[in-house]
Amino acid sequence: MQGLSKNPFSRPHIEIHKPAWKRMLEKSSVQLLIALLVVMFGIIIFKYLGQHQGPQLILNTLILHKGQLDVIKRSTLITQTDDIVRSTDNRKIINQWKSLSACVPTTCPDAEYFNFIITVTEEENIPHNDLILNLIRTYKYWNSPDDILDFSKALTDVNNEVDTIGSREVTKAWAEIVKCNGKCENVNMLYFDMIKAVVLESSAEE
Averaged confidence pLDDT in the chain = 84
Q: What is the pTM of this model?
A: 0.74
Specify the DSSP element, H or E, that contains 170.
helix 168-180
8 Å CB contact between 79 and 60: no
**Alpha carbon distance 113, 84 (integer Å):** 16
pLDDT at residue 43 in the model: 38
pLDDT in tens, 40-96: 543 333 344 444 699 999 999 999 999 888 999 999 999 999 999 999 999 999 999
pLDDT band at 202 (very low <50, low <70, confident <90, very high): confident
Helices (H), 15-167: 20-66, 71-88, 91-103, 110-123, 129-141, 148-165
pLDDT at residue 21 in the model: 63
pLDDT in tens, 145-158: 889 999 999 999 99
**Alpha carbon distance 178, 182 (integer Å):** 8
Residues contacting residue 58 through CB under 8 Å, at least 6 positions apart: 117, 120, 121, 126, 195, 196, 199
Residues contacting residue 165 through CB under 8 Å, at least 6 positions apart: 128, 131, 171, 198, 201
